[in-house]
C-alpha cells in the first residue's frame, strides 16, 4: 500500500461511525464535510469527515484541478494501521446548489505504481502569441478536460496547449497537448479520429490576412 509523501499536502480527517442524512446534517452544522474513503486495500468504504475550511482552501488554491490533485490523508486517532497515512485523490466533490460551498467530498486510495484514470483540465498557453486571437478571433473549446491514466506522484494540475502562431481557422488537435511523463491520454470511445480536434479559433474571414488563411 502506498504511503505518505513529504512533498504532498496533507489533509486531516476524522473517522465517523454515524451515517445517513441526519448525521450528515449534524456534521455540516459543526463545520465538517461528510465523505468516504474507498479503493484498495479497503474491502469496505471508510466513513470520514473533513473540515470544511480545509476543503474550501484547497478548492480556492487548486481551482479546477482539485479533483486531480494527490494528497496525503491523515486520520486523527486512527485505530487501524491502514489509516495512518495514505495517498488519495478527491472524488465526487458536491457543492451546495445556491451557496456553492462544499457539502460532500470522497477520497479514492491511490497506488502510484498501478496509477488510476483521472480527468485533467486543459490549460491554454501563449494566447498573446496567437495572431487569430489578437485580431478578434475566439477560442472555441471542444474539450475542457482530458481523461488520462496517470502513474507516479507527479499528477499535473493541467495539460498545457500552446496557441502560439495560431490563426483564425486554426484547428488545435490531440497531438498538440503537452503530455508529461507518467501521463497517458485516453481518447473518447465515440471519437473515431486518430488526432481529434480539441479546439478551434473562430472569427470572420475579414479579420484574416491572406497568408493566415487555413483551409
Cα–Cα distance list, 207 to 104, 130, 136 (Å): 48, 13, 7
- Indicate the helix (H) or strand (E) that contains 54: helix 52-62
Q: Taking 70 as the threshold, does the pLDDT of residue 3 lie above it?
A: no
CB atoms within 10 A of CB 134: 12
- Indicate the helix (H) or strand (E) that contains 23: helix 21-29
pLDDT bracket for residue 186 (50, 70, 90): very high
- The three-state secondary structure class of 16 is coil
Contact residues for 13 (Cβ-Cβ < 8 A; gap 6+): 37, 48, 49, 50, 73, 74, 75, 76
Contact residues for 189 (Cβ-Cβ < 8 A; gap 6+): none
Please state, in angstroms and rounded to a whole number, the distance separating the CA atoms of residues 205 and 168: 8
Q: pTM for this structure?
A: 0.81
Mean pLDDT for the stretch of residues 133-138: 90
- pLDDT for 215 equals 41
Amino acid at each position: 500500500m502506498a504511503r505518505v509523501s513529504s512533498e504532498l499536502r496533507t489533509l486531516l480527517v476524522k473517522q465517523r461511525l454515524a451515517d445517513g442524512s441526519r448525521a450528515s446534517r449534524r456534521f455540516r452544522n459543526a463545520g465538517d464535510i461528510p465523505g468516504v474513503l474507498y479503493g484498495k486495500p479497503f474491502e469496505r468504504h471508510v466513513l470520514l469527515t473533513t473540515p470544511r475550511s480545509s476543503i474550501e482552501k484547497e478548492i480556492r488554491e487548486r481551482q479546477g484541478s482539485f479533483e486531480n490533485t494527490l494528497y496525503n490523508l491523515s486520520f486523527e486517532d486512527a485505530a487501524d494501521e491502514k489509516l495512518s497515512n495514505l495517498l488519495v485523490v478527491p472524488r465526487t466533490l458536491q457543492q451546495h446548489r445556491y451557496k456553492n460551498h462544499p457539502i460532500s467530498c470522497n477520497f479514492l486510495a491511490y497506488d502510484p505504481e498501478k496509477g488510476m484514470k483521472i480527468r485533467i483540465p486543459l490549460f491554454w498557453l501563449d494566447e498573446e502569441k496567437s495572431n487569430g486571437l489578437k485580431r478578434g478571433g475566439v477560442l472555441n473549446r471542444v474539450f475542457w478536460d482530458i481523461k488520462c491514466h496517470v502513474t507516479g506522484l507527479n499528477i499535473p494540475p493541467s495539460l498545457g496547449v500552446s496557441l502560439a502562431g495560431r490563426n483564425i481557422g486554426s484547428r488545435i488537435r490531440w497531438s498538440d497537448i503537452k503530455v508529461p511523463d507518467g501521463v497517458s491520454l485516453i481518447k473518447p470511445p465515440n471519437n473515431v479520429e486518430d488526432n481529434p480536434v480539441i479546439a478551434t479559433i473562430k472569427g470572420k474571414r475579414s479579420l484574416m490576412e491572406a497568408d493566415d488563411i487555413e483551409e
